[in-house]
Amino acid sequence: TQQWRGVVEEYRDLLDIPTGTPAVTLREGGTPLVHSEWLSGLTGAEVHLKVEGDNPTGSFKDRGMTAAISVAVHEGAKAVVCASTGNTSASMAAYAAKAGLKPLVLVPEGKIAAGKMAQAILHGAQVIMVRGNFDDCLAMARGLSQAYPVALVNSVNPVRLEGQKSAAFEVVDMLGDAPDYHLLPVGNAGNISAYWLGYTQYAELGEATKRPVMRGFQAEGASPLVTGEPFPDPETKATAIRIGNPASWHLAEKAAKESEGRFAAVSDDQILAAQRELASHDGVFVEPASAAGVAGLLQELARGESYRGSTVVITVTGHGLKDTATALEAFSAGGAGIVDTVVDAEVDAAAAAAG
Ligand code: F0G
């Protein structure tokens, strides 16, 4: 049997990358669409989770990165650079390692989850911590790529979106048509833009009869697409989406407008509660930022919005193991306390403790 070939080979004819570009792949994509009994029950809709934490480095970034690194190698790059809140750097470092490129990473000091930092370091990246936020890091990465022979692989590189749009193809391939609604977290706004490209392309090709309404959710403390103004000092516990001035702002607004969708903000408490509920109801453990779409759906229900009878896809963007510290902090702050009963190594002792 043939295994899944990865995003570039599975969808090569649909991606705008130079003909004959050899694929640098870790067999990313092909992620599961998991039916959520919990959210379907709450909404009266069929709600599916696109579980992007199942990608090789644990986030959706691998879809864009296989494309960006493949093209960078094809074009003769020897080094690559990105700014990141953690997942892009983890992904870039892995694909750069696979391709034999030198990876340079710029991250906001003290704001990167431990799992992501470990990935970048172990894959051999040079990690530079910046006294500033993601937006500052992105400006520096752009500057470095202009002044030095190092290829920029942030989503301002259009090849990234070409790879990332494959997630929309997969959703349609699995459901047989586009869903009615697609909800997802939004930070730098590349992913929502890429989904819209993918859904639009599939509709034009006749692979889908419609395009979904796109609803993007940002953290309250970093919600420029909701307020319409950049946030000079973005702040949220969902560090992956701690971004004040999204690079794909206009493309994301276009996606919302053309789909008759919108952006909304959710609080950190809503995000962390959604993370816990998703883990305990559906068995899907995602990182805090990744729960923003689920938090968004719950908020809309609370506000009286109806999804009854529709098909809904929510992208959960990254794996819960990326940031266990925030998850456990929020869990104990939630009042339950962390259950870590210690007993002697005897059956009776365990039975007594378990009640
Ligand atoms: N969810 C996760 C887990 C992310 O890492 C990101 C972005 C997003 C959502 C938002 O996606 O930026 O396309 O709107 N992370 C980037 C990074 C910024 O550097 O890893 P977006």
Q: What is the pLDDT of residue 349?
A: 95
CATH 3.40.50.1100, applies to 7-59+164-333: yes
The amino acid sitting at 12 is R
- Please give the structure tokens belonging to residue 213: 């309404």
Per-residue pLDDT, 331: 86
pLDDT of residue 337: 66
- Ligand 1 centroid, distance to 91 Cα (angstroms): 11
Whether the model pTM is above 0.90: yes
In the prediction, which pLDDT does 333 show?
81
Ligand 1 atom closest to the Cα of residue 187 is 14
pLDDT for 330 equals 87
Residues with CB under 6 A from ligand 1: 59, 61, 84-88, 185-191, 240-241, 287, 289-290, 317-318
Of 222, 217, 223, the residue nearest 183 (C-alpha): 217
Indicate the length of the chain as a whole number. Answer: 355
Question: Does residue 99 sit in helix, strand or coil?
Answer: helix
Strand bridging mode 181-185 / 151-152: unpaired
Number of other CB atoms surrounding residue 320 within 10 Å: 22
Flag whether 188 is marked binding.
yes
Q: Per-domain residue ranges for the chain?
A: 7-59+164-333, 61-159
The strand order across the sheet containing 262-266 reads 33-35, 46-51, 311-316, 181-185, 213-219, 262-266
Same-fold call for 7-59+164-333 versus 61-159: yes
Task: Please choose from 49, 57, 87 the residue to mutate so as to test ligand 1's pocket, defined by most ligand atoms within 8 A of CB.
Answer: 87
Nearest ligand 1 atom, CA 216: 14
ipTM above 0.95, yes or no: yes
Structure tokens at 150: 């190092």
Fold annotation for 61-159: Rossmann fold (3.40.50)
Index of the ligand 1 atom closest to the CA of residue 82: 19
Query: Closest ligand 1 atom, CA of 185?
Result: 9
What string of pLDDT tens digits covers the 355 residues of the chain?
899 999 999 999 999 999 999 999 999 999 999 999 999 999 999 999 999 999 999 999 999 999 999 999 999 999 999 999 999 999 999 999 999 999 999 999 999 999 999 999 999 999 999 999 999 999 999 999 999 999 999 999 999 999 999 999 999 999 999 999 999 999 999 999 999 999 999 999 999 999 999 999 999 999 999 999 999 999 999 999 999 999 999 999 999 999 999 999 999 999 999 999 999 999 999 999 999 999 999 999 999 999 999 999 999 999 999 999 999 998 888 666 666 789 999 999 999 998 8
Binding residue per annotation — 55? no
Pocket test for ligand 1, best of 49, 51, 55, 59 (most atoms within 8 A of CB): 59
Q: Which of 130, 188, 245 to probe ligand 1 with, by most ligand atoms within 8 A of CB?
A: 188
Q: What is the DSSP string of 118-174?
A: HHHHHTT-EEEEESS-HHHHHHHHHHHHHHSS-EE-STTSHHHHHHHTHHHHHHHHH
How many whole angstroms separate alpha carbon 180 and alpha carbon 313?
A: 8
